[in-house]
Amino acid sequence: MSSKLSERIGLTFSLKLSILYAVFFIVSSFSLFIVAYFFIDYLLETGERELIEARMQDYRAWYAEGGLDSLKARFDEQSETDKAAFFVRIIGPHNKAFFVSIPRGAKGFDPAQLDRIRPKGPEAWFTIKDFGKKNIWTIGSIPLRSDLVLQVGKSSTHIWELLSYFRSVFIRFIVPILLLGVAGGGLLTFRAMRPLRHLIKTVRNILETGEMSTRVPVGSGRGELHQLVTLFNKMLDKNEALIAAMHNSLDNVAHDLRTPMTRLRSVAEFALQSQLTPEAYREALADCLEESERVLTMLNTLMDVAEAETGVMRLEMAEISIPEVIQAVVDLYEVIAEEKNLTIRVDTPEQLIVKADYARLQQVIANLLDNAIKYSPTSGQITITARRENAHALISVADNGIGIPAHEIDKIWDRLYRSDRSRSQRGLGLGLSLVRAIVQAHGGTVSVHSEENNGSTFTVILPIDT
C-alpha cells in the first residue's frame, strides 16, 4: 500500500531516501535527548539520595549513642556550622512527631503531606511535588527502633529547574534540528545517488545515440554503488567487444560465403544454359555439392565454436588414452603428408589418460596437424609430442613451416581470421578458433610459440583429473 501511495503522489527514490535520512536523523536526535534527559535525571536523583542516605546513617548513629536527646543535641550543634538545608523528622506511632526540623527558606513545605503517604515499610523513599510553588522534595525514611522512624529530606527543586532548562533548550533547537535533518538528508542523498545519476545518464545516452563507447564516470568510492558502476562499465566493455566481434564475424562470413555461393550459382547457370553431356551435368552437380559442403562445414564449425564458447557444447566425457588419439589422427593424415613428402614424428608415453570427449579431442589434434601439413614446406618434418607435467597433460604439435608473424599471433584465434600468407591455402579460418573453444570447454588452455619462417609449436594443456 505504501508503494502505491508513493507512486500516486509521485515520490522519486531520491526524495524517499532524503525523507528516510531526515526521519532517521530527527528520530535519532529525539532518542538521544530522551536518553540524555533520563540519564541526567537518574544521576542527579541518585546523588541526592546518596547524600540523604549518608545523613540518615549519621543521625541513626547519633541516636544509637545516646538516644533522642543525644541526637537533638548533636543536630543542633551541627546546624550552627552546616549550611546544608535538610528536613529532619522523628515520628512514632500514629505519626506522632518527637522531633521536627524544617530548613530556613523552605517556603510552602508542609510536613503534614508526609502523613498522607502510606509507605510499604519503615525504609522508603518519597517525592513531594508542588509544581505550582516550584517545590520538590526527596525524602527517605529508616527505622531508629521498632516504634520510631527517622525521616530526612532535601529540596530537589534545583534538579527540576535544571531539567526544565534542559527541556526548554531542546525545544528551542527543535526547528534547527528539523532543518538540519532535512538539509543533511538531501545532501547525503545527493552525494549517494550521484553514481546512479551518472548510470542513468549513460544508459539514456546509449539508447538515444547507440554509441557503445560511452562509459559511466567512476568515482573514488568503495561502496555497493561504486561496484555497480564498475561492473556496469565492464559489462559495456564486454558487450562492445562482442558486438565488434559479431560485426567482424558477419563481415568475414559474408565475404567467405560469397565465393562458394558465386561458384555454386555460376556452375548451376552454366549447366542450365548449355547443352552438356550427362557426364558434364554430373560433374556440375559434383561441384555444386562440393561448394554446398564447404558452406555447410563453415556454418557447422561456427555453431560448434559458439556452443563451446558459451558453455553449451555437449561433451561425452570418458577416460581416453592420448597416445591412441594421436596415433589415430596420424594414421588419418599419413597419406596427405606423404603427398608433400613430410615426416610425422610421434613421441608419446605408453600411457597418458585424461578425461575428455574422444571425438572433440581428436578434432583438436586433427586441426593442429592439418595446419602443420598445410604450412610446412615439402620434405619438412612435423613432431607431435605428449607428456605429463604435474596434474596436466601437455600435447605439442611442432612444424618447421612458414611460421606466424609476431603481430598476427594474437589474431589467429579469432573466428574466420586468415593472414595474408595463408590465403593461398584452402581453409575457412575457423580451425584455431574451434581448437581453443574445445580446449577451454575441457578446462584447458592452448598456446603457440612461433617465429616467422622458422616454424610454429602449438601446445595444448589439459587437466588430468577433470
Q: What is the CATH number of the domain that holds 366?
A: 3.30.565.10
In a domain, 408, yes or no: yes
Give residue 118's pLDDT. Answer: 65
Same domain, 51 and 139: yes
Same domain, 60 and 113: yes
Domain span at 370: 314-463
Same domain, 446 and 342: yes
In a domain, 200, yes or no: no
- Tell me the pLDDT tens digit for each residue of 389-435: 888 999 999 998 888 888 777 777 776 665 555 444 555 556 788 88
Whether the CB-CB separation of 126 and 114 falls below 8 Å is answered with yes
Q: What mean pLDDT, rounded, does the chain reach?
A: 79
Q: How far apart are CA 169 and CA 165, in angstroms?
A: 6
Same domain, 354 and 324: yes
Retrieve residue 50's grid coordinates: 546518596
Q: What is the CATH number for 67?
A: 3.30.450
Quick check: 356 pLDDT over 70? yes
In a domain, 433, yes or no: yes
In a domain, 124, yes or no: yes
Domain closes at, from 308, 323, 350: 308
Same domain, 303 and 366: no
Angle at 113 between CA 112 and CA 114, to 5 degrees: 90
Quick check: 224 pLDDT over 80? no
Domain closes at, from 308, 339, 369: 308
Same domain, 130 and 254: no
Quick check: 10 pLDDT over 50? no
Three-state DSSP at 459 gives: strand
Retrieve residue 326's grid coordinates: 594421436
Quick check: 311 pLDDT over 90? no
Domain closes at, from 251, 281, 308: 308
Same domain, 398 and 286: no
In a domain, 319, yes or no: yes
Integer-rounded Cα radius of gyration of the chain: 49
Same domain, 295 and 357: no
Distances (CA, A) of 6 to 37, 40, 409: 36, 41, 58
In a domain, 240, yes or no: yes
Same domain, 245 and 150: no
Same domain, 304 and 326: no
Quick check: 280 pLDDT over 80? no
- Tell me the pLDDT tens digit for each residue of 102-143: 777 666 667 777 776 666 666 788 888 765 556 788 888 888
CA 317 to chain centre: 35
Give residue 253's pLDDT. Answer: 66
Q: What is the CATH number for 290?
A: 1.10.287.130
In a domain, 442, yes or no: yes
Q: How far apart are CA 18 and CA 313, in angstroms?
A: 50
Q: How far apart are CA 450 and CA 458, in angstroms?
A: 8
Give residue 248's pLDDT. Answer: 66
CB-based contacts of 35: which residues, under 8 Å, 6+ apart? Answer: none
Same domain, 168 and 19: yes
Quick check: 285 pLDDT over 90? no
When divided into structural domains, the chain yields a total of 3
Retrieve residue 246's grid coordinates: 559479431
CB-based contacts of 378: which residues, under 8 Å, 6+ apart? Answer: 340, 341, 342
In a domain, 227, yes or no: yes
Same domain, 74 and 97: yes
